[in-house]
Structures are given as C-alpha cells and as structure tokens.
C-alpha cells in the first residue's frame, strides 16, 4: 500500500501555538489500514512517532521533530449515534463538533468541553476538563491501536483518569474512537449553556491569540493564574512570547515566538512564582523535541 506523506512539514502550521520546526514526515491516514501501514513502516525503519490531533496542547522544538508525525484531525473525524443517549466519536473530531452535535440531538453532558480547542483523542489522553466538568464524567470506553497495529477496547474505569492524566501517558497506543454516555436534555437549553460558556471564555481568556490554552497545571491549594497575577508577571515577555494581560494562566505567541522564547518565559514565571509564593508550577503543555 503506497502511503502519501509530506516531507519537512513546518509543525507550527499544525499547532495552536504556531511554534515548531519541520517534521521529517507528516502522515494523515484516513483508515485503520493506512494507519497500521504507517506503524509497520516506522517499525521497519526504527523511526520515532508522535500522534498529533489539533495541536492544541503541544510545543514543538525550533529544530523540529526528526521522526514521523501521524496527524489524526479532520481526516479522522465523525460521530455515530448509538442507543440510550450514547455516541461513538472518532478521535480526530473536535470537542466543539461533539458539543454542537450533542446540542442538536438533545444530549446533555458535554457542554463543559465545547470551548476546549482540541480533539477527542487529546481530551481522552489528558482527561481534559473545564467549568467543573471532566472527560471522565461522560466517557464509557475507548478503542485504540497498539504499535503492532492491533485494535483494543478499554473501559473508562481502567484508564486511570485523573487530573490531566490517563493510562495512555504510560502505555503506547493510538486513540481511534471513544464512546460517551450523555443524558437527555432540551436542545435549546443545551445550546444556551454552550453559548454562555463560550462568552465566558472569550470574556476572560485570550481566545484571539495563539496559545496552547492553560500553560500550567493547577497547583494544589491555589491557581496558577492567581499566583502569576499576584507576582505582577502579566505582560512580561521574551520577544514575542508573553504572559497574557487578559488571563495570567496563558502564555501566548504574539507573532514570531520561538520554542526557546516560550520555554525561557515559562522558566522565568516558574522561578518567580516559586521565589515569591513558594508554589512550584508545572507545565501542562507537552514539549516535543
């Protein structure tokens, strides 16, 4: 089977931070058979792999990635309605697409994720959450492919879902689809809740700027944004990497920030917060070198 791919593809074009050098190869398989072929070829050549969805929580190095990127996004999207208010969703589907589908069909429970700028695969991988809701609240099971091309199903209760963590962080596997359990609701009310949460996001967060969402994990006993704000760091920048003046928990790219700029700024924030408050912040963004 001949597989199409792009060579030396700029990864900044595939992330919401708009940062990152070239990938040796970028594949966008659209079927399990094509995905399995990429895995087979990579294994034969002993090259590194990275699975990328919407690129909303990753930071690639300025030098790029010397392995192969498997991009599962629009080419791997789709929603299937099942019985008893359940849906099966392909991992490249965005959280917004699922939330809007659920609203149209009177399925309540995914409103919290409507504004999370990533895919279902990413949401499962990190147990994404917002506004008092988490993926684990509605997830039933996940289908994934191991690195040998075999497909497995794993129940949500076996995924070790915790704060920004899942079983997949320590077990290689490519999330193919997920089954969710929702509750019946009124489409209009669900849509209104989504609209309200969207407005709250746009009022409080720099949604018009390139970012990876919340840059730091929530420290026990406080909030990253509160600590950063109290340290007077909002507006601090290193070249085009800046602590957002709108929301202190976001480090943004004002145009031409590099990975080095971003990491230098993140280190400055972490060191300052530690020195002035005693809290030690931890990056939520995944750094891929």
Known catalytic residue at 244: no
CA–CA separation, 47 vs 24, rounded Å? Answer: 10
Find the angle CA(108)-CA(164)-CA(60) to the nearest 5 degrees: 115
DSSP3 helix / strand / coil % (the chain, rounded to 5): 30, 30, 40
Check 36, 96, 134, 284 and give the catalytic one: 284
Can you list the positions of beta strands (E) in the chain?
Answer: 6-10, 22-27, 49-52, 58-60, 65-71, 79-81, 86-90, 107-108, 129-130, 133-134, 139-145, 151-155, 174-181, 183-184, 210-211, 237-238, 241-243, 251-253, 286-288
Check 36, 77, 111, 164 and give the catalytic one: 164
**Residue matched to tokens 């209104």:** 192
Cα within 13 Å of Cα(45), Cβ side: 14
Is residue 111 classed as helix, strand or coil in its secondary structure? helix
Known catalytic residue at 214: yes
Check 91, 166, 177, 214 and give the catalytic one: 214
Known catalytic residue at 284: yes
- Residues designated catalytic: 164, 214, 284
């Amino acid at each position: 089977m001949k597989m199409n791919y792009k060579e030396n593809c700029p990864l900044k074009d595939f992330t919401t931070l708009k940062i990152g050098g070239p990938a040796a190869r970028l594949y966008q398989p659209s079927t399990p058979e094509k995905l399995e072929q990429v895995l087979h070829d990579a294994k034969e050549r002993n090259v590194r792999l990275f699975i990328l969805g919407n690129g909303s929580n990753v930071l690639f190095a300025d030098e790029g990635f010397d392995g192969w990127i498997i991009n599962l996004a629009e080419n791997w999207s789709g929603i299937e309605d099942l019985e008893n208010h359940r849906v099966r969703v392909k991992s490249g589907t965005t959280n917004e697409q699922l939330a809007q589908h659920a609203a149209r069909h009177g399925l309540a429970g995914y409103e919290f994720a409507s504004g999370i700028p990533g895919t279902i695969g990413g949401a499962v991988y990190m147990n994404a959450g917002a506004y008092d809701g988490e993926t684990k609240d509605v997830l039933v099971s996940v289908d994934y492919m191991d690195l040998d091309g075999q497909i497995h199903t794993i129940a949500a209760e076996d995924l070790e879902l915790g704060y920004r963590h899942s079983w997949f962080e320590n077990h290689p596997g490519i999330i193919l689809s997920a089954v969710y359990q929702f509750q019946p609701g009124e489409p209009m009310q669900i849509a209104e809740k989504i609209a309200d949460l969207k407005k709250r996001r746009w009022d409080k967060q720099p949604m018009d700027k390139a970012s990876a969402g919340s840059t730091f994990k929530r420290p026990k006993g406080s909030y990253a944004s509160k600590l950063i704000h109290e340290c007077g760091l909002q507006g601090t920048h290193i070249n085009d990497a800046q602590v957002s003046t709108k929301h202190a928990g976001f480090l943004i790219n004002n145009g031409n920030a590099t990975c080095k700029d971003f990491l230098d700024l993140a280190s400055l924030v972490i060191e300052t917060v530690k020195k002035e408050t005693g809290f030690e912040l931890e990056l939520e963004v995944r750094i891929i070198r």
